[in-house]
A and B are shown apart, each in its own frame.
Chain A
Amino acid sequence: MKAILTDITKCIGCFKCVKACKETYDLPGDYPRRWTQNDGLSALNWTSIVIKPDDHFIRKQCRHCIEPACVSVCPVGALKKTKEGPVIYDNDKCMGCRYCMMACPYGIPRYDWDQRIPYIRKCIMCYDRIKNGQQPACTAACPEEATIFGERDELIAIARQRILDNPGKYYQDKIWGEHEVGGTCVLYLSDIDLSFLSYDRKLDNEPLPHTTEAAMKAVPPVFAGMGAAMIGLHWVIGRRMKREQENKPKGGSE
């Protein structure tokens, strides 16, 4: 599975990845609106640089989770996890319920709020380019190789190596995205705490779709069980009532 590794300690905040993304997808300029969040992402910015104190530039983008919450909740299959890794979106299938926006633990999918015909917008890891054997526009544009593209396993190996080579440099010696919510295809190495990227400060390693799975699995048995119970109850109560009628003394009802 393809993945992206972003090393915060290498990023110099030149915004070239952001620019490359905008050029690749022909996204017009954007300015803060009432409905945008202050992390720089919007329907017109699929990746952004979040600036934190002391020269820390954190590139935010869709994490392309291995078991994505957004894909599991979409009632019409407009979002899809491809075997190459990217989580992609299909305009024609979407019905605009915005459940994906609610479900994403990183708050990634954004909406075309000002359009009369609005769509979900988020990073798609340049799926077309990947299919053609190229790397995404953003990683290609990075002058510092702060954000690199490759096979997920290889990138994790690289990250491990960097952590080994630089003891004490990285925050908690952690590869962000290796395990959270079942693992993501966008990994981070950082010297600061990156938990602000998700809504929950302590994301579980359990993939989020599993939370609903039990309930969804219970659907057919509950459906059938309820039907059987109702028919049974109807019959039992009916018989009891009939018996009561019969048991009544003959003269009682006259």
Chain B
Amino acid sequence: MDRVKIFKLILWIVTGLGLSAAIARFAFGLGVTTNLSDTTPWGFWIGFDVVSGVALAAGGFVITATVYIMRKEEFHPIVKPAVLTAFLGYIAVIVGLLFDLGLPWNIWHPVVQWQHHSALFEVAWCVMLYTTVLALEFSPVPLEETSRYAKIRSFLMRYRLVFVILGIMLSTLHQSSLGSLFLIMPFKLHPLWYTPILPIMFFISAIALGLMMVTFESLFTSWLYRRKAETPLLAKLGKAAVWVIAIYALVRFIDLGARGALGYIFAGSFESIMFIVEASMVIIIPLILLSIPRTRHSLKGLWAASLLVVLGIVFNRINVAGLMMTSATGSHYVPSLSEILISASVVSAAVLAFLFAVEHFKVWERKPIDPEAKVEKLPEFDRASNTWLGRPEVAARIKYSLAFVLAVAVGLMFWPFDRLESRGIQDTPVVKARGGEKLIINGNRNFDLVLFKHKMHEDTLGGKESCVKCHHMNIPGDKESGCWQCHADMNKYTDAFRHDWHASPSGGNLGCVKCHEPDQPKMALTASECNECHKDLIPPGAAIKVEDYTAPGYVDAMHGSCVECHKEKAAALDKPKLPQCTTCHDQEVSDSINQAIAAKHEGRKSPWVTMPEIEEN
């Protein structure tokens, strides 16, 4: 198969996979499909799709400025592809943003609700306007295909200079304003990146990126369509880039020096390593590569330099947009699969649109030979054999659509939809009933396995009819009841008495019969009293007299052992209301507790507890 076809096939598959992720994103919300969190509200989508995306599309304004303002006519052949890339880039930014916004249907709100003090508001407006301007700048190209729109086309051509200048003005603003977005976060962003001149930094690096992105794109498409690369022209771009990168480096380091942040480079921290990586990708290696004429004029040198700068500045944007805030926020964010897939699919779709445009309109001086149209000469219908041959060009499209649909389907298939429910319900596979005499079960859900007398439980609970008592099987995602759901008094975490601690090998390491009568139901009633072991459980002079005691509940223990302490603390800390019941309990609750205790006393021969006397003021 041809290079182009394979490449397109891959793009279609990625787009399809991304679409399945996008479906999940909108069906289940951001929380479960992304790794964004309250600590990391902005992640890969903002860092890559939006902040880097806009920068990657900077080629449009840089090249139009070169050709129409500086009047360097020699660069004319790369104007149209640059404008096209910019246009598609901005569309991709907007689409990418739609996934990131929590309420994407409100994306138009900045149009009517003006907030001139917000940098994001300004970016929103500029992106909106500039996308329109780019559409106007590019539309003469497709309009060229038919003569029907000649009038519109000539109108657009006549005012091209206006659009170009408008485009440059708007680009200057929002390329820099993307940097202003982060000015408000001096407390989060690492000092190697945070600077009050962040907007200027973003603008200069956007120019460098624009030049190198155009270079990269030209190299890549020449490789893809086996055209001759425009090396001399690209070498000139490279030379210009040297100047821009040099200025960028100068400003960057002077700024670091002026703020006294140079020391951080050698701090040996995560940030300093990232800074060194970034600086070598954006500044050091490309500067060396591009300032040597021989490498600048070689294909390999151009490839390396452009790739480095493109990746390096994307890295810079991602650093500023979040990665370098992690040590302040303590976040451990790594983009989730769906975040990466959606971003990749937005890029793939944009590249597909780009390829479509260059194959069908005169973006280049000569359209590439369409690999899919090569066999078009064959008749669609073979009269001799009375058979329909089909349009050969369609055949490739069928492959693409098949790949796309399959990718969506496969993507959807592998989405763990059941596990995505944010309530965290786990799937419960139906297993063959084991039943039997004794089972080893994880009855307390703590992976301390216990020997469970299944037969005995079945018998005491009422034979086969009683299965539902533990295996209710009617609540979605439910499991068989845990031990504590019947033996309710054994494992209450609110209890002062920690049954699981007493039972666990690393805790009290007591066998059941240590406290419970053998061959008796295991419950609080059959347990021996605490003070049989803990002779000194109830402190002398405690407010509560505990008689006939089983395991104390929280309330009892609280009042038995804690109220005294509360009184002491109240005096020591000068917090007078600390020992009063109504401080923690509402009046009704206090009343109901009193009633419950009173009721308990009724049924007993000897009073359980005597309530403490606490004076209310």
Contacts and interface: CB of A to CB of B under 8 A. Distances in A.
A113 B328 contact: no
Contacts of B329: 107, 199
Given A75-B118, A119-B102, A199-B188, A233 B41 contact: no
Contact of A96 (B101, B120, B168): B101
B37 A35 contact: yes
Interface residues of A, number: 69
Given A12-B577, A102-B42, A144-B575, A231 B102 contact: no
A230 B39 CA distance: 43
Interface in B69-87: 69-71
Contact of A73 (B114, B184, B577): B184
A96 to B, nearest CB: 2
A211 interface: yes
A234 B186 CA distance: 39
A230 B36 contact: no
Contacts of A198: 187
A237 B173 contact: no
A100 B4 CA distance: 44
Interface string A91-118: 0011111110111010100111111111
Contacts of A55: 569, 573
A215 B165 contact: no
A105 B166 CA distance: 36
Interface string B101-124: 111101101100111111111101
Interface in B1-56: 26-32, 35-39, 41-42
B286 to A, nearest CB: 26
B168 A226 contact: yes
A81 to B, nearest CB: 12
A96 B166 CA distance: 30
B103 A95 contact: yes
B169 interface: yes
Contacts of B106: 76, 93-96
Contacts of A98: 41-42, 102
A12 B117 contact: no
Contacts of A111: 30, 38, 41, 102
For A36, A95, A204, A208, the residue with the greatest tally of chain B CB atoms inside 10 Å of its CB is: A95
A102 B116 CA distance: 19
B452 interface: no
Contact of A107 (B39, B120, B183): B39
A234 B161 contact: yes
A216 B117 contact: yes
Contacts of A234: 68-69, 71, 161, 165
Contact of B102 (A102, A118, A199): A118
A211 B104 contact: no
Contacts of A187: none
A145 B27 CA distance: 46
B185 A103 contact: yes
A95 B180 contact: no
B474 interface: no
B183 A212 contact: yes
B172 interface: yes
B65 interface: yes
Contacts of B577: 12, 143-144
B422 A74 contact: no
A17 to B, nearest CB: 13
A34 interface: yes
A26 interface: no
Contact of B69 (A203, A215, A223, A237): A237
Interface in B567-585: 569, 573, 575, 577-578, 582-584
Contacts of A42: 38
B411 interface: no
Nearest to B182: A102
A114 B31 contact: yes
A17 B506 CA distance: 38
B169 A72 contact: no
23 contacts: A37-B37, A41-B38, A72-B118, A74-B118, A75-B115, A76-B106, A96-B104, A97-B101, A107-B329, A113-B32, A117-B102, A118-B31, A143-B577, A198-B187, A211-B186, A212-B119, A212-B183, A214-B196, A222-B172, A223-B173, A226-B168, A226-B169, A226-B172
Given A34-B37, A209-B117, A215-B199, 19 more contacts: A12-B583, A33-B422, A35-B31, A37-B39, A93-B109, A95-B102, A103-B184, A107-B329, A111-B41, A118-B29, A118-B102, A199-B188, A209-B184, A212-B119, A215-B119, A215-B180, A222-B176, A223-B169, A226-B173
10 tightest A-B CB contacts, nearest first: A96-B102, A113-B31, A200-B187, A114-B422, A35-B37, A75-B121, A101-B41, A95-B106, A98-B41, A96-B103
Interface of B: 26-32, 35-39, 41-42, 65, 68-71, 100-104, 106-107, 109-110, 113-122, 124, 161, 165-166, 168-169, 172-173, 176-177, 180-181, 183-188, 196, 199, 328-329, 422-423, 569, 573, 575, 577-578, 582-584
